[in-house]
Structure 1
């Protein structure tokens, strides 16, 4: 039989050609075995890459082993070409401990630093932004490394695709964006997904070099990607690669492929990358029947041996302590004590000082955000930073919150730290997915921390309306894996920000913009840290306890100035996740009356969970129901009188008196 694909061997040696063949064969034989195991109920799901092996194998072979690759769920060849022991992959797919996620995720939803592979999440788009961050770290380190990231033609419809390519183009990042155009996004053909002729044509809009490659031609894939990777190492830049291929099986096995016309399936079956390359190698007397059979014998033996090892591995025994412990990367806090020398400064100055000192302390810290460079940010917190630290480390970003959060994660993966500024906390909704699905779940899923701080200027009181005034901390306190910090005073803001940057876990750092220029304090000079997860007791008394945070703490203190007859424990939470339950419960047991005050609207806020926790753990000590003060169940209005009506501050004094007199 003659090959249906035209191969140009060029400079590829016979040895290299046989390696490429054997690598594709290994991937194909594993897949065929997995399909049998799926029918037998021994694995739960399978996303087949049969017919697409040339892309994963060719790209991986072209990259150096310490260059990061970010594959998708149809790229088995990436993992096998990087020579991950098969039993570990089989254990992963069976939910065993020798896998990469301790049974917590399946398929290729994992990464491994040992093999420089960063797996996907089901939300496909953020994978591309992670590659931006990894590539940015490579560029800053000047290590002449390239990064390759995969997506499918369906993924190119997502906003994350646009954001990631735009960032890479603006920053000239050394990334190969590899799009596997396999004809269908589940059952939706490409004609119903985009209206351009080729995905590669989209590169024009980003000012980006792009190429179309026959994804079924292993020699074309390997030689072209090898050529481009060498070029990008010398001349860092992003390149969009469209690999034309076809998915020969369903999106996953349960979905089937009946929606594909028979003649189209037959046409692509004749372009099978493995069979055609095998025929070509035999025509050229590079591959013999003897070598082919030897390869198959070796691979099948390896598969069977490693499968048995995975089958013999004991099932995971659930351990509650381990599950809870693995949500965060362990971090032993070591206090850097504040100096006795102090300066009377504003809240905003304390934030700026803490950030500046952290940039001094950590050479690998990068600040990213809209207008944070020469302009200094809309609140002027990073004013003058470019002159001191340079534009490489203080980076203006396009308006693309999702890609920048994902890039922060990529920086962390590649050994750096990131501070991402949301211009306003409200805008975090555009970056919500990578925060709650990448940053938050990373350590729990595959033991990789996310060393990212997201700064969140938030809050009402400045007449900014419903899109610039939210205090949206409850969106994140609900998400395991995130730490949420919300200081009320300059000293705490400075020390907690330093701690957040030191902490290897993702931190949402809320800064109430109404406090920026209205609250002053004597703040310790120099670098110091304040422990995350510890509340501050601002006042002590026996009559009742008031728990609050952020600007609402100042409401409480102001109200108590006119209620001197009431002795109150005032607790400033400072950190909302994790909570200092020890301090909270001790005060509740002491006073027996609890009022929780938040600026956020009532339902679903942190006060609701605190109330439940106190009731569940301190019920026998309570002398009254736990009470809450919060803002109206409406969006935040702009007009000043409406805003004051919205805020719970006006209800506070009455609530204190009612509880005191209960």
Structure 2
């Protein structure tokens, strides 16, 4: 291992040694504790310390690093107190997730670290967003994100590198090629000689680095980082190394040939570097022994501190309240001045007003810039706000949603336009696993709104017509908004953008240009979790949202003798259950109308809630009316049969007659 060709000051050489030695000794201790049953799981980075340490020390302290399972050296090199790490691994309150997650599944703004989730891929897109925020603020900063060779097979890897290249983002994509994805060797993972070769396809600079040579890692990453700060661009770094332990300890390494294990054992980064420092006269045995004793003492003292810490306080209220970041809603009242506009115009006005109010707000999505989006919501926005803040994206929903999370982590707001709500399926993972869970896990909110053009009735077929709100109302941590009128759309969108939590904002395409209303001209907000009682009555309660509101109004207009109370939910999460209960207690009958297919939809949960809380007030069965349990057909006649409008009228009359 050639250490001598790298020009590094002696003080830094010793610092690198100490920085590698500490995680090695911590790991050795953790393996003992694992065997004793004092910790539950361990992902070992033994043999890979040079990468974590070299990359982190080459970075500036206020630059973000996004590590993985095996990057203990990243955390220790950022000088996180050991007792906090030990508390994290034991599920104690002194850790970073209050016992809600384990291992390195956490982040900390204090140390500019963003831990991964088990799905791996979204981490790469998050780095894009963090780097984009730096670039927009003209800050000369680099972001480093780690993944393994197995992770490069995921679609998120392709999407994140492509976005970073197209947008010239200052990201170091650090791939630790350690030979195996759990037990699957690299030759079964990809069919190119080097992962670095993949950079060619993205027009991206790439380098192969000896991941076991800490001086090479540190020197090359420091040099590349200095240049990237001056000339922002992404760089793909492949670190050749090996995993000397199992994927996690329980899996072992029996699948690794003995001769291969012996070959890499001879390349141990710590042992080789220790020998080099000794030959250079920079580290004597006595100095090494003293250092090891100091680290042992630090480990033991911090372990004791973590062990002495009290167990997690089981507090139901705290668990429920920590799912979302607290949002102090402040009402901005409507002006008396109004103009008659379409639903689509109200959404556009609401978005434009928010862009004017928040100079840290970025809009991303396919064709949202000069083209103005497929529904022309952002038409003219580039002229008003520039292409830096109104950004066309490649067709890669997963990376763009992950990047929105990164923007939020780095102090920005983001509105993502799904071209159609159906396409959220290709970004589903980061929505439900990253955006939704981050605040509960490590108190990091996702200041992201995802606009969801949805709904049938326009002959758009199975892939452009879904109203898929139930995918997201099921997921704790997300808020779901679904307005039916232009004035609600404008005010609720303003609130969604103000809210620091992730919001899915559904906009029915069929209402865009068919529904007009007098809408206040000013910027105003409307509260979440407050249904709108459009009609009061005593015979029956109708609960609906979106296009269903207009179907219900048309039906009631046709049957003027029906004395119904009509509730437009407006938001599905949070949900105004109290208004529903109050109405049902008055009328004794409930019919719920949704455009989504019946089974597993919002109506099912509403029905269950009313049965549990208002059963004694009911004078008839609760009726749920919804679209057919089929995909949405294209043919007009088939689509009309699919949609529940006509069935709603029939079911309403039957329930009234019960």
TM-score by length of 2: 1.00
1:8 CA drift (Å): 2.6
1:579 aligns with 2:575: yes
Aligned residue for 1:596, secondary structure, equals: strand
Paired residues for 1:35-74 under 5 Å? 35-74=31-70
Paired residues for 1:192-211 under 5 Å? 192-211=188-207
Aligned residue for 1:505, secondary structure, equals: coil
Aligned alpha-carbon RMSD (Å): 0.5
Aligned position for 1:25: 21
> What are the Cα deviations for residues 180-212 of structure 1, in whole angstroms up to 9, with x where unaligned?
000000000000000001000000000000000
1:9 CA drift (Å): 5.4
- How far apart, in 2, do the equivalents of 1:274 and 1:526 lie? 64
1:412 aligns with 2:412: no
1:434 CA drift (Å): 0.1
**Please, which of 70, 75, 80 is the counterpart of residue 84 of structure 1?**
80
- How far apart, in 2, do the equivalents of 1:270 and 1:40 lie? 29
1:318 CA drift (Å): 1.3
1:317 CA drift (Å): 2.5
Question: Structure 2: 5+ residue runs without aligned partners?
Answer: none
Question: Structure 1: 5+ residue runs without aligned partners?
Answer: none
Aligned position for 2:487: 491
- How far apart, in 1, do the equivalents of 2:410 and 2:313 lie? 33
Aligned residue for 2:57, secondary structure, equals: helix
- How far apart, in 1, do the equivalents of 2:447 and 2:349 lie? 20
Aligned position for 2:531: 535
Query: Does the CA contact (< 8 Å) of 2:455 and 2:509 recur in 1?
Result: yes
How many residue pairs were aligned? 658
Aligned residue for 1:368, secondary structure, equals: strand
Query: Does the CA contact (< 8 Å) of 1:129 and 1:410 recur in 2?
Result: yes
- How far apart, in 2, do the equivalents of 1:184 and 1:155 lie? 11
Aligned position for 1:376: 372
- How far apart, in 1, do the equivalents of 2:313 and 2:282 lie? 50
- How far apart, in 1, do the equivalents of 2:309 and 2:653 lie? 63
1:10 CA drift (Å): 3.5
Query: Does the CA contact (< 8 Å) of 2:6 and 2:216 recur in 1?
Result: no
1:622 aligns with 2:628: no
- How far apart, in 2, do the equivalents of 1:612 and 1:7 lie? 68
> What are the Cα deviations for residues 234-281 of structure 1, in whole angstroms up to 9, with x where unaligned?
110000000000000000000000000000000000000000000000
Query: Does the CA contact (< 8 Å) of 2:529 and 2:576 recur in 1?
Result: yes
- How far apart, in 2, do the equivalents of 1:51 and 1:638 lie? 57
- How far apart, in 2, do the equivalents of 1:174 and 1:413 lie? 16
Aligned residue for 1:515, secondary structure, equals: helix
**Please, which of 396, 400, 403 is the counterpart of residue 396 of structure 2?**
400
1:554 aligns with 2:550: yes
1:568 aligns with 2:564: yes
- How far apart, in 2, do the equivalents of 1:10 and 1:241 lie? 18
TM-score by length of 1: 0.99
- How far apart, in 2, do the equivalents of 1:9 and 1:582 lie? 72
- How far apart, in 2, do the equivalents of 1:597 and 1:74 lie? 50
Aligned position for 2:589: 593
Aligned position for 2:179: 183
> What are the Cα deviations for residues 375-394 of structure 1, in whole angstroms up to 9, with x where unaligned?
00000000000011000000
Paired residues for 1:274-313 under 5 Å? 274-313=270-309
Query: Does the CA contact (< 8 Å) of 1:9 and 1:219 recur in 2?
Result: no
1:244 aligns with 2:229: no
Aligned position for 2:229: 233
Paired residues for 1:248-287 under 5 Å? 248-287=244-283
- How far apart, in 1, do the equivalents of 2:159 and 2:187 lie? 23
